[in-house]
């Protein structure tokens, strides 16, 4: 504990110094070149299930506006484009555009199974997207993205031990209008989206939103002599919302949405890492693979869902009902070994596996009663119900190995919760919340070569949080927060397809401490928010994947520890020059002297962990959490030059740098990334024509065409996979009035 306490002290001092330096360096230019009335925009967030100014939140929250999101997705980017662009937030996937995995403050889950649970919850339009397939719904016509760090179990339930990612679509507002945008770029990349709100009457309005994302196949499969046979995708998605507002006592919003995806799954590349080295070697060529599979890694998924949110307004309080239904089905096929008998490199045996979800059904219902108004005391009480049912089928090509296997997962959960805030004075507000949850999961195996008995797990837990925020003055507030959350027990049945048995992980619980400041210095022309945190996770759920024997098992570590700092900042340098900067430093550590995992299934990598008892399993005590970057630095800048034509020329750029990231539970000389970075650029003109705002821009994503190792497979060779290539093109956007 002394080493940890010392690190936190140094960290806190460094954070304060960094903030002071940023404010000090920016002050002269801000004061001299910005008009007196100019200030950074007010950011409204809903992390407390209410609309509040982000500066009034006693917690660590980042909001990404729609303009920044559009910039990183216009070249065909999906939800993974958010990775490393928000302090303490990371995302990756070994399933292509399907089944993303999220990490906050280093805490996440590397399990690639379609039934995997995650400690980061994804909430879209007030509906939790629990299954990993649902979490990949494409992003379009989004008003704002909010990332709330730290346990959110009181108001958002279990499986939020790390935090939540919340997406809010643009709602119909009774005003006719919308937008239309299109982008065309290299590799046949096309991105077209649009939305339009139509008032149907004085009380009813609807908004229709559509997206089409496409990329041509651009990767050659040289083993089959098949040029341009992989790498493409076709994504279609839509959303229809209907808002009913008969009077000021009631409103209801109906939302129906769906998507259809066809394309290439993840591209595993055999032996692109040499034994003893982390550098991509001569076996790697971004534009070529050597798969012996004639199917070329296809992926197809369809999903749709609907929700209804209704509010009844009464004097002093509001009654809210939120009902949601989601369904999905599809499959992904992968050449797991990434090559063929002839290479690249040594491949012990070929392997190809298809996984698919059949008829996923999820239903959620929440009732909430909350105080209405700005009184000294605010409160909310509620109840929540969740149920899901889905089957997963795993099989080999043409009915070969692995033999067809089907498992069924069911989950039933209910909870009750309450939260209250009270302003003790004009400067001090305290808050507290409590939630009781009952969580039960069942597994059955209707199809398997080896008969399997049903598995049932359940748990009952209490989550809570206590916080306080104090306004030092009009520009600065400080806060502290303590929170406890849990992730329910988990069943992993992936090994059943390979003649193994299901594994079970007990619930993990987290206790998190954090303190920080929210500030808008320089007369509101800057925003600097910073948080220092420390958390412990008891019975940390982990996935031991690969190694000798190619096992896929859930395990619990006795404890995990994380601590660090995150800083969000925004500077209006001049009226036409806006800069944002985010930084996080995360230190994570597994603490379990008895936890061992099998390393290096290929025998070609170099584990650096000890094997004290020489049993072929290495001890991972003291290792960092997998896929937990030790630092993230992100920057954006937008500079505009007013034009004589009434519009403006603009330049927008965004950058991120990602520190050392261990890919697996064990450490080795090969399976980590360090110093990954990417940058993007938009240059264009925005103006008004015929009373409509419009914009034309040239864009580039991954300007320097970085080849970043983002994941690996511990199987029968040193397989890895990489980021997307450089994409450049043009985009047009116009408002529809």
Please give the Cα distance from 711 to 516 (Å, whole number): 33
pLDDT for 13 equals 42
Q: Are 253 and 240 in contact (CB under 8 A)?
A: no
DSSP secondary-structure letter at 29?
H
Q: Which two tokens stand for residue 136?
A: 């990949």
Domains of the chain, CATH where assigned = 2-736 (2.40.170.20)
Q: Are the CB atoms for 186 and 727 separated by under 8 Å?
A: yes
Q: What's the distance, Cα to Cα, between the start and end of the chain in Å? A: 61
Pairing of strands 661-662, 648-658: unpaired
Helix (H) or strand (E) holding 413: strand 405-423
pLDDT, one tens digit per residue, over 296-317 is 999 999 999 999 999 999 999 9
Per-residue pLDDT tens over the stretch 55-78:
999 999 999 999 999 999 999 999
Tokens describing residue 693: 């705002």
Nearest to 95 by CA among 263, 237, 213: 263
Residue ranges for the chain with pLDDT beneath 70: 1-36, 399, 546-551
For the question of whether the overall pTM of this predicted structure is more than 0.75, the answer is yes
By the 8 A CB rule, do 722 and 287 touch?
no
pLDDT at 628: 97
**Nearest alpha carbon to residue 241 among 310, 169, 142:** 169
Q: Which residues contact 389 (CB under 8 A, 6 or more apart)?
A: 360, 361, 408, 409, 410, 411
Between CA 54 and CA 240 the distance in angstroms is 29
d(CA 56, CA 518): 8
CA 223 remoteness from chain centre = 35
Give me the pLDDT at residue 35, please: 61
β-bridge mates for residue 89, sequence order: 104
- Residues 675-707 have pLDDT tens digits of 999 999 999 999 998 888 999 999 999 999 999
544 phi/psi in degrees, rounded to 5: -90, 110
Return d(Cα 538, Cα 536) in angstroms, integer: 7
């Amino acid at each position: 504990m002394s080493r940890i306490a010392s690190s936190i002290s140094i960290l806190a001092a460094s954070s304060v110094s960094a903030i002071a330096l940023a404010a000090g360096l920016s002050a002269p230019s801000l004061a001299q070149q910005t008009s007196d009335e100019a200030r950074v925009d007010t950011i409204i967030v809903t992390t407390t299930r209410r609309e509040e100014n982000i500066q009034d939140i006693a917690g660590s929250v980042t909001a990404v506006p729609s303009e920044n999101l559009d910039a990183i997705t216009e070249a065909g980017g999906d939800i993974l484009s958010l990775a490393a662009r928000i302090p303490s937030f990371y995302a990756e996937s070994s399933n292509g555009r399907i089944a993303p995995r999220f990490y906050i403050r280093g805490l996440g889950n590397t399990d690639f199974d379609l039934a995997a649970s995650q400690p980061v919850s994804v909430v879209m339009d007030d509906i939790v997207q629990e299954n990993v397939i649902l979490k990949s719904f494409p992003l379009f016509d989004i008003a704002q993205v909010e990332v709330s760090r730290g346990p959110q179990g009181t108001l958002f339930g279990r499986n939020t031990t790390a935090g939540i990612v919340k997406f809010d679509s643009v709602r119909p507002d009774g005003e006719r209008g919308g937008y239309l945008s299109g982008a065309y770029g290299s590799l046949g990349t096309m991105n077209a989206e649009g939305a339009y709100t139509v008032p149907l009457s004085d009380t009813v309005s609807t908004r229709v939103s559509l997206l089409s994302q496409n990329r041509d196949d651009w990767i050659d499969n040289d083993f089959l002599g098949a040029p341009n046979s992989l790498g493409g995708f076709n994504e279609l998605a839509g959303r229809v919302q209907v808002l009913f507002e008969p009077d000021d006592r009631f409103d209801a919003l109906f939302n129906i949405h769906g998507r259809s995806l066809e394309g290439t799954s993840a591209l595993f590349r055999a032996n692109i890492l040499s034994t003893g080295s982390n550098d991509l070697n001569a076996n790697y060529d971004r534009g070529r693979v050597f798969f012996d599979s004639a199917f070329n890694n296809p992926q197809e998924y369809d999903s749709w869902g609907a929700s209804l949110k209704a509010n009844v307004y009464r004097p002093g309080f509001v009654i809210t009902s939120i009902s949601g239904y989601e369904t999905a089905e599809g499959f992904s096929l992968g050449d797991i070994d990434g090559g063929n008998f002839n290479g690249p490199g040594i491949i012990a045996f070929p392997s190809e596996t298809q996984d698919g979800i059949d008829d996923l059904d999820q239903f959620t219902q929440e009732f909430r009663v909350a105080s209405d108004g700005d009184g000294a005391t605010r409160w909310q009480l509620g109840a929540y119900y969740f149920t899901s049912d889905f089957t997963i089928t795993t099989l080999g090509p043409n009915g070969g190995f692995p033999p067809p296997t089907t498992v069924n997962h069911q989950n039933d959960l209910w909870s009750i919760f309450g939260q209250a805030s009270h302003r003790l004075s004009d400067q001090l507000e305290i808050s507290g919340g409590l939630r009781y949850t009952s969580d039960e999961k069942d597994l059955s195996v209707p199809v398997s070569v080896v008969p399997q008995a049903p598995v049932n797990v359940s748990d009952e837990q209490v989550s809570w949080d206590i916080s306080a925020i104090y306004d030092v003055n009009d520009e600065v507030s400080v806060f502290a927060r303590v929170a406890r959350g849990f992730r329910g027990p988990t069943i992993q049945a992936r090994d059943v397809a390979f003649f193994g048995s299901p594994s079970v992980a007990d619930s993990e619980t987290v206790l998190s401490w954090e303190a920080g400041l929210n500030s808008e210095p320089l007369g509101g022309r800057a925003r600097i928010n910073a948080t220092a945190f420390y958390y412990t996770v008891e019975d940390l759920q982990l996935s031991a994947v690969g190694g000798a024997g190619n096992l896929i098992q859930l395990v619990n570590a006795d404890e995990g520890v994380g601590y660090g700092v995150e800083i969000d900042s925004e500077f209006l340098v001049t009226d036409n020059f806006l800069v944002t900067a985010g930084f996080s430093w995360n230190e994570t550590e597994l603490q379990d002297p008895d936890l061992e995992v099998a390393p290096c299934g290929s025998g070609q990598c170099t584990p650096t962990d000890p094997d004290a008892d020489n049993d072929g399993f290495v001890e991972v005590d003291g290792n960092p959490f997998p896929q937990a970057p030790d630092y993230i630095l992100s920057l954006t800048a937008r500079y505009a030059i007013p034009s004589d034509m009434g519009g403006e020329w603009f330049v927008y750029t965004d950058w991120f740098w990602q520190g050392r990231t261990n890919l697996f539970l064990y450490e080795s000389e090969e399976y980590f990334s360090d110093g990954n970075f990417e940058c993007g650029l938009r240059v264009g003109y925005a103006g008004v024509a015929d009373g409509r705002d419009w914009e034309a821009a040239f864009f580039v994503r991954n300007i320097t065409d970085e080849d970043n190792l983002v994941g690996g497979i511990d199987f029968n060779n040193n397989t890895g996979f990489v980021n997307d290539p450089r994409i450049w093109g043009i985009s047009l956007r116009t408002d529809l009035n």
